[in-house]
Amino acid sequence: MKPFRILFLYALLFSVAVQAADYNKLYQQRCDSVLSYYKKLPYGPDAFRAMVKLNQNYDVPTALRIIDSVTSRPRGDMFWLYPVMSMYLYGQKNMPAAYKAKVRRSLKDYTPYRGDTENHWVMYYTSLYLASQCWPNEPGPSWFNGKSSEENRLDAEGWLNYWMTTTTTIGQGEFDSPAYLSFFLTPMFMLNQFSRDPVMKKRAEIMIHWLLADFFIDYLDGQYCGPHSRIYEPDIFDKRQSMMSKTAAFFLGDRPLFNRKGEPVNFLGNCLVCAMSDYRLPDILYRIATDRSQPYVSYERKRSRNRLRYYEERNPTVNKVMYMTPSTALGSIQWGHTEQILQHTWALTWKAVKPGEVTTLFTLHPYYSARDMGSLFTSLLGSIVADVVDSKTTYDKEDKLVGSSPYEKLMQYKNTLIGLYDLSGPDVVYRHYDGFFSKDLQERIEDASGWIFACTPTVYIAFRPLKKYEWIEEKQVWRLRSHDVKNGFILEVKQPEECKSFADFQTAIRANLVELIDFERTLCVRYRTLDGDVLECDYSGRRLVNGRNDDPTDYPLFDSPYLQSAAGSQKMEIKHQNKKMVLDLAKATITY
């Protein structure tokens, strides 16, 4: 090897080492700052507060008061269980024996429900696994569920191993959720920190890396970019305040955790569990989350929620694609059924220019179905929609902002998306689709060509409704509503850097071929993109890219320049430039 190459290699390694050291120093500062803030908080019935106070040996009397509160009036099922177990595990060194006994007794007297979703079960069984480890060899009557410590450990271990294997084999369920991912991650931090079984400990670490890699590949400018299997309405227009965006702020340090008054603004309580742990984010994951220097396409295979009836498969496959650029992210579910209530089937997301900006665009067909809900829950079909609406209040509403529809078909190729709607069937309740255009878009031009052009300094958008439409003004968005039952749209997106000007972008788009072929019968659309690719698709699922078949049904678990994972492999290869990390769940190894 020539001397200058060796020198260059040393310089590179040195630079990486310095950056990693800087990262670790700044991360530790963030940990210290949140722990310092939390330990000084006054009394509140919040187990995390007591956890920090006890762990830091600060204001222990208040911590003990909190323990009294959370153990004497337990409430919250698994949402109570995991903070209480975290409190015990991190705080036990400064917890008087009588208070340890109170925690222990609450696990006899209070019966937390196991729940009906995977995130519930991960919280429940992780807590139970660690509790059975804390109090081994105790008989069934001393536990809330009547099982002995050993029975509880085996039960919990069985489920946790099943979930980990399933996720790394056929994909994550409840995937890409700006809220729920936190409820998968936090228990894994607990497990990684406190499992005495080295294999379980390592498997938990692998799952943390796996879930964070899955998140970071879709991360841009403080936002978890869509599509999402489950997103709550407040997170749609205020994407940077979601639980996972706050988790990113904690790990990446890309936004301040506190405002000038010292109040937490981008901090999530769940991260306290991590702040006290030995876990450190591998440098390669940091880079994947932050390096947006080159556009990339990411294909992912996910998994539908557990189907109880009306499906041939228990966990049908879902395939999604994401096109990420330095300032925009266009992602969509290309194939498969997911979680109908809170799904965002596609979303365009872009970098903000000013704080508080709404930086997303999406469409949906408002749809609800007792049968769909019956596939997820055991409730009676006659009352199941009303039951769902009790908690997810907009599920059956025509103005809803979330939810999937079987009458929507999407085809995405890089920066272009075609959406088709056939709302002509006799069972269709709402015969329109809605598009949501941020009021923060600087332009919203309805062009004579039929295109709608919109832009900000970070994105140029061309949206072509295929039928007539109207605008409805709402607080944060202009809602485009189109009533035709054979319907659709074309969307093409560019970064401003890719065009000479917004006017040029418009001119080029106008020149693009748009063909509707026997549309009222087949909903067939042919479109030539700005890059010259010709896309063609129809409602039956036929898809062509430049005349070649495009099959969206068989994606690997991950396929992008950064992440590679074959379905069934239980392995993920993470790459960034010359760095590589391999997660292998089956062997419980992490290699660099």
Partner 1 sequence: MRKSVVLLLLLMFTVTLPLFGRDPLIYFSIVFRKQITVVGQDIQVFGLYYGAKDAQTWERCGWKNNSIFGVAVDTRTDGQNIFLAAGNGVLRSLDAGKTWKIVTDWTITEVTKVYLDPLRPKTVYATSSSFVWKSDDYGDSWRKISQGLKPTSQTYCNGLALLPSDTRVLFLATADGIMKSVDGGENWQPCGLLGREVHEIQIAPYDETVLAAATDDAGVYVSRDGGKVWRQRAMGMRGRTIYTLVFDPVEKGVLYCGGYLCGINKSTDYGEKWTHLDNEISDRTVRSLAIYPTDNRLIFAGLLNYGLWRSADSGSHFTCAAEPDGRVYCMGIF
β-sheet bridge partners, residue 321: 299, 332
Which CB, 117 or 223, lies closer to partner 1? 117
125 lies in the site for partner 1, by CB under 8 A: yes
Type of residue at 379: S
* Contact residue for partner 1 among 105, 196, 280, 309 (CB under 8 A): 309
* Contact residue for partner 1 among 44, 45, 96, 146 (CB under 8 A): 146
- Total residues at the site for partner 1 (CB under 8 A)? 45
What's the rounded Cα separation, in Å, for the pair 77 and 127?
A: 11
294 lies in the site for partner 1, by CB under 8 A: no
CB of 384 to partner 1, least distance (A): 11
105 lies in the site for partner 1, by CB under 8 A: no
Count CB neighbours of 569 within 10 A: 16
3-class DSSP state of 445: strand
Which CB, 196 or 371, lies closer to partner 1? 371
What's the rounded Cα separation, in Å, for the pair 20 and 36?
A: 24
CB of 312 to partner 1, least distance (A): 6
Find the binding residues for partner 1 in span 147-166 (CB under 8 A): 147, 154-156, 158-159, 162
Which CB, 9 or 381, lies closer to partner 1? 381
Which CB, 146 or 356, lies closer to partner 1? 146
Count CB neighbours of 458 within 10 A: 19
CB of 553 to partner 1, least distance (A): 20
| Cα distances (Å, whole numbers) of residue 337 to 314, 423, 496 | 12, 18, 34
* Contact residue for partner 1 among 3, 61, 141, 532 (CB under 8 A): 141
β-sheet bridge partners, residue 294: none
209 lies in the site for partner 1, by CB under 8 A: no
- Could you tell me which residues come within 8 angstroms of residue 166 by beta carbon, excluding any fewer than 6 positions away? 173, 303, 315
Which CB, 80 or 433, lies closer to partner 1? 80
**Could you tell me the two tokens for 453?**
């052009």
427 lies in the site for partner 1, by CB under 8 A: no
Which CB, 7 or 381, lies closer to partner 1? 381
- Could you tell me which residues come within 8 angstroms of residue 135 by beta carbon, excluding any fewer than 6 positions away? 104, 107, 142, 149
Type of residue at 494: K
DSSP state of 567: T
CB of 181 to partner 1, least distance (A): 17
- Per-residue x/- marks for partner 1, 7-26, CB under 8 A? --------------------
| Cα distances (Å, whole numbers) of residue 319 to 171, 191, 303 | 10, 30, 8
Q: Which of 406, 415, 347, 413 minimizes the C-alpha distance to 551?
A: 413
263 lies in the site for partner 1, by CB under 8 A: no
Find the binding residues for partner 1 in span 354-393 (CB under 8 A): 374-375, 378, 380-383, 387, 390-391
* Interface region with partner 1, contact rule CB under 8 A, candidates 114-122, 195-203, 288-296, 327-335: 114-122
CB of 305 to partner 1, least distance (A): 12
Q: Which of 364, 461, 370 minimizes the C-alpha distance to 403?
A: 364
Which CB, 144 or 258, lies closer to partner 1? 144
Q: Say if residues 506 and 445 touch (Cβ distance below 8 Å).
A: yes
Q: Which of 128, 114, 117, 252 minimizes the C-alpha distance to 179?
A: 117
CA trace torsion 172, 175, 178, 184 (10° rounding): -30
- Per-residue x/- marks for partner 1, 70-89, CB under 8 A? -----xxxxxx---------
What's the rounded Cα separation, in Å, for the pair 170 and 518?
A: 38
Residues that bind partner 1 (CB under 8 A): 75-80, 111, 113-117, 120-121, 125, 140-141, 144-147, 154-156, 158-159, 162, 307-314, 374-375, 378, 380-383, 387, 390-391
